[in-house]
Each structure stands twice: as C-alpha cells, then as structure tokens.
Amino acid sequence: MPTMDLSNYKGVFVIGEQRDGKIHSVTYELLTRGRALADDLGCQLSCVLLGDEIENVQEVIYRGADKVFHIKSPALKNFLPRPYRNAICRLVEEEKPEIIVAAATTTGRTIMPLVAARLNTGLTADCTELTIDPETRILLQTRPAIGGNIMATIKTPNHRPQMATVRPKSAKPAPADPTRTGEIIVKEYDGAVFMTPEKFLRFVKDTTQQVNIEDADIIVAGGKGMKSAEGFRLVEELAEVLGAGVGATRDAVELGWTTYPHQIGLSGKTVSPKLYIALGLSGKIQHMAGMQTSEVIVAINKDPEAQIFKVADFGIVGDVFEVVPMLIEAIKKIKATA
C-alpha cells in the first residue's frame, strides 16, 4: 500500500449528534474522550455537528471543544448516510484530523464505516478505552473481543485518520465551564455535497419501548442463573422495591425472559448507575463491557468462581432464590421506616 504522510494530520475530531436541532448528550461524553486525547497529544479538539439550525452550540465549547464545525444544511436535518458521509469526508479533507471518534449509536455506527472505507483507513468499533501511546503518539483502541473473556487493543499505524466508535454512557459527560472560549465555524457546502438518492420519509417515536435503563440510578440485572421466566420475576421484584431499572444478559433476553431494551453489554446497552446488582449472572466480558463502570457493584451468584465477583464491591456466594427474597424483605423494612 502506498504510505501516506502521517505528519500532515493533526487534531482530534469528535462527531456530535443532534435530533430536531437539539444537541444529544452523547456529544458531551465524546468531548470527555476527545479532550483527554487532545490533551495527551497537545493538539486541538474539534467537534463536528451536522444539521440545520442547532440550538446552544456554545455549550460544546463550554464542555471542552476548542472548535466547533457546524456543517449546516436542511439536507442534514435528519440522518441520511450519504449526505453525512459526504459532508464529513469533505471536512476531513480540509482539516486532516489525526483521530476521529464517534459514538457507537445507530448513526455513528453507520457513518463511520462509510467514512473509513472512503478514506481507506482503519476503524475500531465499540471501544471501551482510548489512550495515546506515549512513544509513537498512536491511538490505542481497546475493545472486548469475541464472545469470551478477552480484550483486544487495536491500532491503525500507517493510515490516517485513526477512527473509533465508543459506547454511549461509557464516559461521563464533560462538565460545562462557561469561561471556556473557542471558535464556532459554520460550514455551508454547495448542494452537490448533500445530493442523495435516499429519501427520508419520517421519524416515529417508539412509545412502547420507553425503557430507559441508561438513566437509572440503580439497576438490578439477571442472567441465566435466574433459571426461568418465572425465576426472572425475582429480578423485577427487587428492582421494584428499589425503584430500579431492570437489566439482563444476552442469554436472558434470548431465552425470552425479558426484552431487548433491557439487554446490557456489548450487544445491548452500556450503563453506569450508582448501584448495579447482578443476580445469577456469571459476568462474561460481553456483559461486563456494559456495566463495569458502575459506581458500586453487588453480585449474588452460587458459583464462587464467577467472573462477576472480580468486578464486584460486595459479593454473596449463594442461591439467588434464597438470598434475594431476604434482600427484598430487608429493603422493604428500610423503605417503610424511611
């Protein structure tokens, strides 16, 4: 492959997200990631926003960006892969960032492969950790790999930009600092950039899937160890007395004990609650990738060797069907006296 002059590429890009002109909070999580990388490299952090009118763009500066590129067109109001791809590729050609980070959302996971393929560069999905190798200044991208208990660190040594998506909720949103200053650049490209055969018809809110466990302070999650759909009710019961969200492993979802919006892990949601209670789940890396940043983790499992105990702050080795009912009673007592 022809080698490229890597030194022409400078700066970190994060690809922010908006819907209906409102910046999505995942943008601020990306700023946390991006700021850390830019500081390590001693370079600028730019946030790319694609859309028509976007409210409160200044907030992105307050939360850590040195520059905002607002690519503005009515054609970008809703997400369509082609106009987004064209706009991002155009900006990348102009600005030549060395790193691009997007969220592993349906938008980020669609647009990044298109951009990477067009630019012939590497892309790593669903990273849980991004760091800079101090010697080579190359981006080290770490993600859980293949169904099992392994993490892989991946790099893109000879191509630029280096591209990665990170799981939503895997970083805290950057706090706002209204004293921060930066530059907001509005890019209005000519219409040809946004031409596409795709036609956006409509967006329909899904009111049946209002399961927002990402925002729950407490999550009670169950795995295969709950044994049956009926057994899984115990997870829901404990969640109810705690006012908690219900989480599940992929196994529990595939067995039909609960629905996909509850799935936590690499192929489900990433959560970071104050308290995570893991019941009858062994702790495959797949699952732990989605919850290990929780503040306090409690595990109850009958297998003392279960991986989940390694990430737990408090573990009880025992039968969930014996321990959890006691826990429910104890919490009910507290709630009654509170």
Q: How far apart are CA 209 and CA 22, in angstroms?
A: 21
Q: Does 284 bind other proteins (CB under 8 A)?
A: yes
Q: How far apart are CA 110 and CA 85, in angstroms?
A: 9
Task: Calculate the alpha carbon distances from 279 to 43, 77, 317 in Å.
Answer: 44, 43, 11
Q: How far apart are CA 7 and CA 113, in angstroms?
A: 23
Q: CA 21, 61, 190 angle in degrees (round to 5)?
A: 50
Inter-helix orientation angle 81-95/108-119, to 10°: 50
Q: Give the residue, chosen from 201, 230, 305, 336, that forms a contact with other proteins under the rule CB under 8 A.
A: 201
Q: Does 140 bind other proteins (CB under 8 A)?
A: yes
Q: Does 146 bind other proteins (CB under 8 A)?
A: yes
Compute the least distance from the CB of residue 183 to other proteins, in Å: 30
Q: Any known ligand binding at 158?
A: no
Compute the least distance from the CB of residue 184 to other proteins, in Å: 26
Query: Which residues neighbour 94 within 8 Å (Cβ) at sequence distance 6 or greater?
Result: none
Q: How far apart are CA 112 and CA 123, in angstroms?
A: 7
Q: Among residue numbers 96 through 135, which ones bind other proteins (CB under 8 A)?
A: 105-107, 109-110, 112-114, 116-118, 120-126
Compute the least distance from the CB of residue 190 to other proteins, in Å: 20
Q: CA 169, 179, 137 angle in degrees (round to 5)?
A: 55
Q: How far apart are CA 226 and CA 229, in angstroms?
A: 8
Compute the least distance from the CB of residue 298 to other proteins, in Å: 7
What 3-state DSSP class applies to 232? helix
Q: Does 204 bind other proteins (CB under 8 A)?
A: yes
Q: How far apart are CA 287 and CA 222, in angstroms?
A: 11
Nearer to other proteins, 44 or 121 (CB): 121
Site string for other proteins, 293-312 (x = CB under 8 A): --xxxx-----x--x-xxxx
Q: How many residues bind other proteins (CB under 8 A)?
A: 89
Q: Does 315 bind other proteins (CB under 8 A)?
A: yes
Compute the least distance from the CB of residue 308 to other proteins, in Å: 9
Q: Does 331 bind other proteins (CB under 8 A)?
A: yes
Q: Give the residue, chosen from 145, 176, 211, 255, that forms a contact with other proteins under the rule CB under 8 A.
A: 145
Dihedral sign for Cα atoms in the order 169, 117, 81, 31: positive
Q: Does 42 bind other proteins (CB under 8 A)?
A: no
Q: Does 274 bind other proteins (CB under 8 A)?
A: yes
Q: Any known ligand binding at 15?
A: no
Q: How far apart are CA 98 and CA 156, in angstroms?
A: 11
User: Looking at 39-47, 184-192, 197-205, 228-236, which segment touches other proteins (CB under 8 A)?
Assistant: 197-205
Q: Does 149 bind other proteins (CB under 8 A)?
A: yes
Q: Does 186 bind other proteins (CB under 8 A)?
A: no
Q: Does 159 bind other proteins (CB under 8 A)?
A: yes
Matching residue, tokens 């927002």: 212
Q: Any known ligand binding at 63?
A: no
Q: Give the residue, chosen from 188, 215, 313, 332, that forms a contact with other proteins under the rule CB under 8 A.
A: 313
Q: Among residue numbers 45 through 74, which ones bind other proteins (CB under 8 A)?
A: none
Q: Does 327 bind other proteins (CB under 8 A)?
A: yes
Structure tokens at 202: 């409509």
Q: Give the residue, chosen from 197, 228, 230, 256, that forms a contact with other proteins under the rule CB under 8 A.
A: 197
Minimal CA–CA distance to 263: which of 298, 319, 214, 218? 214
Q: How far apart are CA 162 and CA 160, in angstroms?
A: 5
Inter-helix orientation angle 320-337/229-242, to 10°: 20
Q: Does 76 bind other proteins (CB under 8 A)?
A: no
**Which residues are annotated as part of the binding site?**
249-250, 263-267, 280-287, 301
Binding residues for FAD: 249-250, 263-267, 280-287, 301
